Amino acid sequence: MSECKRIFVTGGCGFIGSNFIHYALAERSDIEIRNFDNLTYAGNLENLADVESDARYSFVKGDIADRRAVEAALEGGFDAVINFAAETHVDRSILDAGDFIRTNVLGTQVLLEAARSAGMVRFVQISTDEVYGSLGATGLFTEETPLAPNSPYSASKAAADLVARSYFRTFGLPVMVTRCSNNFGPYQFPEKLIPLFVTNALAERKLPLYGDGMNVRDWIYVDDHSSAIMAVLEGGRAGEVYNIGGGNERSNVEITRAILGILGKDESLIEFVRDRPGHDRRYAIDSSKIERELGWRPAHTFDDALEATVRWYVEHEDWWRRVRSGEYMEYYQKQYGER
Ligand code: NAD
Ligand code: DAU
| 129 is a domain residue | yes
pLDDT, one tens digit per residue, over 219-272 is 999 999 999 999 999 999 999 999 999 999 999 999 999 999 999 999 999 999
Selected catalytic residue, list 129, 161, 218, 249: 129
| 14 is a domain residue | yes
Contact 164, 240 (CB under 8 A): no
Beta strand 249-251 pairing with 216-221 = antiparallel
Could you give the dihedral angle defined by the CA atoms of residues 137, 160, 85 and 183, in that order, rounded to the nearest 10 degrees?
10
Average pLDDT value for residue range 85-97: 98
Selected catalytic residue, list 132, 153, 242, 328: 153
Q: How far, in Å, from the CA of 286 to the mean position of ligand 2? A: 19
Q: Is the Cα dihedral 63, 64, 68, 73 positive or negative?
A: positive
- For residue 188, the domain's CATH number is 3.40.50.720
pLDDT, one tens digit per residue, over 162-203 is 999 999 999 999 999 999 999 999 999 999 999 999 999 999
| 208 is a domain residue | yes
Crossing angle between the packed helical segments 108-117 and 152-171, to the nearest 10 degrees: 20
- Distance between CA 312 and CA 200 in Å, rounded? 15
| 84 is a domain residue | yes
pLDDT, one tens digit per residue, over 307-324 is 999 999 999 999 999 999
**pLDDT of res. 176:** 98
Residues with CB under 6 A from ligand 2: 88-90, 128-130, 181-182, 192-193, 196, 208-210, 215, 217, 252, 276, 283
3-state secondary structure at position 24: helix
Per-residue confidence at 2, pLDDT binned at 50, 70, 90? low
Selected catalytic residue, list 130, 161, 280, 286: 130
Question: What domain range is 246 assigned to?
Answer: 6-336
| 133 is a domain residue | yes
Secondary structure percentages of the chain, helix, strand, coil, to 5? 45, 20, 35
Q: What is the mean pLDDT of the chain?
A: 97
- Distance between CA 48 and CA 56 in Å, rounded? 13
Q: What residue's CA is closest to ligand 2, atom 21? A: 193
Structural domains of the chain, count = 1
| 1 is a domain residue | no
**Does pTM top 0.95 for this prediction?**
yes
